[in-house]
C-alpha cells in the first residue's frame, strides 16, 4: 500500500465532534414523539365529570386514612388512582401551545378538583376519632427544595412518557407517586378540620408548589418537542391571548421563584446547623460538656439555634468561640446562638431530652425570679409546697400551649378493702384543648416522679 492511501489520523477536534454527535443521537426523543396523540391524551385527562369525580373522592378518603393511621402503603395506593395530574398537565400544554380555551378549562377543572378534595378530607378528619398529627401528615406541611426538584423532574418524566407512541405505564405510575399531589390536599383538610390553620396554609402551599413546577416542566418539554402553536382567525386576538398567557405565566412564576429561594436558604440553614452540631459532638470541642438536644428555628431576619448542654459549665469565652465558628466555618453569620446549661447528669434513655430541658428551665427561672420565689417562701410554710409550686410553674410554662392550669399537692388515698393508706403527690391539670394531650400526659408520668423525688404520681384531669 502506498503512502498516499494511508488514512490520516483524526485530530482531537474531529474525535470530540464524532463522540458528541454519537452522544446526541442517544438523547434524541423527537423520533418517538406522537404529538397529536399526546395532545388528545392530555385534553381527555383534563375532563372532570362522572367517574373522575367519584375516583377522586374515593382516592382522597383513602389517602386521608393513610395519613391518619400513618400508613405509607395506603397513601401510595391512593396516589396511583388519583386524576389530579390531568388538569395540571393541561395548564402546561395550554401555556406551551398558547391555547386559551384549554387553559381556562384546565384551571376550572383543577379548582373543582381542589375544592372536592378539601371537602372530602375535611369531612373525614372531622369524623375521624384519631386527631393527632402523625409524621406522614407533618411531613406535608413545609415545602423544601427537594419537593421542588421532585415536582420539576417528575413533571418532565411524566410529559416525556405521555408523549411516547407506547406510553410506559410504570413511568406514569411512578410520577403519580413521586410528585405526591394528594397528601398535601389531605393535610390541608386536616388543618381545616382541626382548626390548625398553619397546617392548612403550609400543606396547601406545598400543593401549589408541586402543581406549578409540574405545569412548568410540561410547558418546557412542550416547547422543546415543538408542539404546534394554536392558530387564531383574528391576528389581534391571537396577539392578545399570547400576551395574556405570558403575563399570567410570569405573574405566577415570580412569587414561586422567591419561594424557591427561601426554601433553598432554609434547607441550607438546617443542613449547616446539623453539620455544626455533629462536628461539635464528634470532635469533642466542648470537652467535659455534652449536647443532649438542640432546637433550630429558621427566621429570615434572625434564625436561632439553641443548644441544651449538661456537664461542665460552658464559659462565655467558649460560647463566643462557638459563635465565631458558626460564622467562619458554617455560613451561619446571622444565626443567634443560645446555650442552655445544667450541671445535672441525667440518664433516662429516651426521656433525657425532655427532663434536661425542664431542669434547665427550672434553674433559669430560679435565677431570674429570686424575689418572686422569696415572696412565695414567705407565704408558704413547708419546703415541699415551695418545691411543688416551682415544679408546677416549670410544667405550666413548658406546656403552656396544652395546659391552662396545673396544681400539685400531697393527697391521702385510702383503700377500704385493703385498709391501706397512701400519700401520693397528685397533679391536677386543666387542659387547654390544644396540642397532643396524650403525649404530654405520658411524658409527665415518666419524669414527674423524678422531679418530685417520689416513686409515683397521680394525674387528675379537670
Which residues fall within 8 angstroms of residue 140, CB to CB, at 6 or more apart?
A: 67, 180, 183, 184, 186, 187, 202, 203, 206
pLDDT at 1: 46
The architecture of the domain spanning 348-462 is 2-Layer Sandwich (3.30)
The predicted-structure confidence for 393-415, as pLDDT tens digits, reads as follows: 878 777 777 888 888 888 888 77
Measured CA angle at 458 (ends 452, 462), to 5 deg: 115
DSSP letter at 5 equals G
Q: What are phi and psi of 232, to 5 degrees?
A: -120, 145
- Rounded Cα distance, 320 and 143, in Å: 33
pLDDT at 115: 92
Q: Is the per-residue pLDDT at 121 higher than 60?
A: yes
pLDDT at 344: 43
Q: Which residue has the higher pLDDT, 297 or 79?
A: 297
pLDDT at 258: 72
Grid cell 388543618 is found at 191
Which of 123-137, 160-174, 332-346, 351-365 is predicted least confidently? Answer: 351-365
- Rounded Cα distance, 92 and 212, in Å: 9
Nearest C-alpha neighbor of 291 from the set 271, 317, 312: 312
Average pLDDT of the residues in 347-352: 41
Q: Is the per-residue pLDDT at 208 higher than 70?
A: yes
- Report the half-sphere exposure of 268 (CA within 13 A, side-chain side): 12
Banded model confidence at residue 119, pLDDT cuts 50, 70, 90: very high
Domain spanning 25-230, CATH class: mainly alpha
State the chain's mean pLDDT as an integer: 75
Which of 167-171, 340-344, 390-394, 408-412 is predicted least confidently? Answer: 167-171
Q: Which residue has the higher pLDDT, 397 or 234?
A: 397
Q: Which residue has the higher pLDDT, 5 or 288?
A: 288
Q: Which residue has the higher pLDDT, 231 or 58?
A: 58
Q: Is the pTM of this model over 0.75?
A: no
Banded model confidence at residue 345, pLDDT cuts 50, 70, 90: very low
Average pLDDT of the residues in 27-49: 75
Q: Which residue has the higher pLDDT, 363 or 230?
A: 230
Q: What is the residue-wise DSSP string for 163-188? A: TBSS--HHHHHHHHHHH--HHHHHHH
Strands 304-311, 336-342: pairing kind: parallel
Q: Where are the domains of the chain?
A: 25-230, 348-462
- Rounded Cα distance, 33 and 69, in Å: 42
- Which residues pair with residue 458 across a beta bridge? 426
Q: What is the CA radius of gyration of the chain?
A: 31
- Do 348-462 and 25-230 have the same topology in CATH? no
Tally of CB atoms within 10 A around 112: 15
Banded model confidence at residue 8, pLDDT cuts 50, 70, 90: low
- Percentage with pLDDT > 90 across the chain: 1
**CA dihedral in degrees (182, 187, 193, 197; nearest 10)?**
-130
Average pLDDT of the residues in 437-453: 78
Nearest C-alpha neighbor of 41 from the set 166, 224, 153: 166
pLDDT at 287: 73
Which of 50-54, 122-126, 136-140, 311-315 is predicted least confidently? Answer: 136-140
- Rounded Cα distance, 331 and 421, in Å: 62
Banded model confidence at residue 422, pLDDT cuts 50, 70, 90: confident
Average pLDDT of the residues in 150-177: 67
Cell triple for 278: 455533629
The predicted-structure confidence for 260-302, as pLDDT tens digits, reads as follows: 677 778 888 888 888 888 888 777 777 777 787 788 888 777 8
Average pLDDT of the residues in 453-460: 82
Nearest C-alpha neighbor of 90 from the set 68, 105, 79: 105
SS3 of 295, please?
A: strand
Q: Which residue has the higher pLDDT, 47 or 107?
A: 107
Amino acid at each position: 500500500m502506498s503512502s498516499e492511501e494511508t488514512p490520516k489520523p483524526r485530530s482531537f477536534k474531529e474525535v470530540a465532534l464524532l463522540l458528541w454527535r454519537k452522544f446526541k443521537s442517544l438523547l434524541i426523543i423527537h423520533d418517538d414523539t406522537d404529538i397529536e396523540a399526546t395532545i388528545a391524551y392530555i385534553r381527555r385527562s383534563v375532563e372532570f365529570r362522572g367517574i373522575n369525580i367519584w375516583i377522586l373522592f374515593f382516592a382522597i378518603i383513602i389517602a386521608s386514612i393513610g395519613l391518619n393511621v400513618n400508613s405509607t402503603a395506603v397513601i401510595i395506593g391512593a396516589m396511583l388512582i388519583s386524576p389530579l395530574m390531568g388538569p395540571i398537565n393541561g395548564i402546561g400544554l395550554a401555556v406551551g401551545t398558547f391555547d386559551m380555551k384549554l387553559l381556562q378549562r384546565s384551571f376550572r377543572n383543577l379548582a373543582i378538583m381542589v375544592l372536592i378534595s378539601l371537602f372530602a378530607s375535611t369531612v373525614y378528619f372531622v369524623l375521624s376519632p384519631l386527631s393527632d398529627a402523625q409524621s406522614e401528615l407533618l411531613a406535608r406541611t413545609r415545602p423544601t427544595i427537594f419537593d421542588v426538584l421532585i415536582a420539576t423532574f417528575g413533571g418532565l418524566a411524566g410529559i416525556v412518557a405521555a408523549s411516547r407512541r407506547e406510553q410506559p405505564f410504570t413511568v406514569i405510575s411512578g410520577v403519580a407517586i413521586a410528585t405526591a399531589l394528594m397528601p398535601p390536599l389531605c393535610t390541608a383538610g386536616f388543618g381545616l378540620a382541626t382548626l390548625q390553620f398553619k397546617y392548612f396554609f403550609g400543606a396547601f402551599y406545598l400543593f401549589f408548589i408541586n402543581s406549578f413546577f409540574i405545569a412548568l416542566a410540561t410547558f418546557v418539554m412542550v416547547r422543546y418537542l415543538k408542539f404546534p402553536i394554536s392558530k387564531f382567525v383574528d391576528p389581534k386576538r391571537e396577539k392578545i391571548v399570547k400576551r395574556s398567557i405570558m403575563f399570567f405565566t410570569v405573574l405566577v412564576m415570580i412569587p414561586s421563584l422567591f419561594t424557591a429561594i427561601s426554601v433553598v436558604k432554609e434547607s441550607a440553614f438546617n443542613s449547616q446547623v446539623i453539620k455544626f452540631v455533629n462536628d461539635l459532638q464528634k470532635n469533642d470541642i466542648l470537652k467535659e460538656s455534652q449536647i443532649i438536644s438542640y432546637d433550630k428555628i429558621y427566621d429570615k431576619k434572625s434564625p436561632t439555634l439553641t443548644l441544651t448542654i449538661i456537664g461542665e459549665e460552658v464559659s462565655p469565652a467558649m460560647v463566643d468561640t462557638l459563635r465565631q465558628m458558626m460564622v467562619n466555618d458554617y455560613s451561619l453569620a446571622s444565626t443567634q446562638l443560645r446555650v442552655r446549661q445544667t450541671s445535672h447528669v441525667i440518664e433516662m434513655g429516651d426521656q433525657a431530652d425532655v427532663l434536661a430541658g425542664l431542669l434547665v428551665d427550672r434553674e433559669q427561672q430560679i435565677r431570674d425570679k429570686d424575689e418572686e420565689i422569696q415572696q412565695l417562701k414567705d407565704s408558704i410554710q413547708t419546703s415541699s409546697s415551695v418545691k411543688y409550686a416551682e415544679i408546677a410553674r416549670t410544667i405550666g410554662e413548658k406546656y403552656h400551649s396544652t395546659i391552662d392550669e396545673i396544681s400539685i399537692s400531697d393527697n391521702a388515698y385510702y383503700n377500704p378493702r385493703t385498709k391501706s393508706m397512701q400519700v401520693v403527690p397528685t397533679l391536677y391539670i386543666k387542659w387547654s384543648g390544644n396540642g397532643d394531650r396524650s403525649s404530654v400526659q405520658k411524658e409527665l408520668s415518666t419524669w414527674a416522679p423524678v422531679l418530685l423525688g417520689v416513686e409515683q404520681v397521680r394525674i387528675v384531669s379537670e
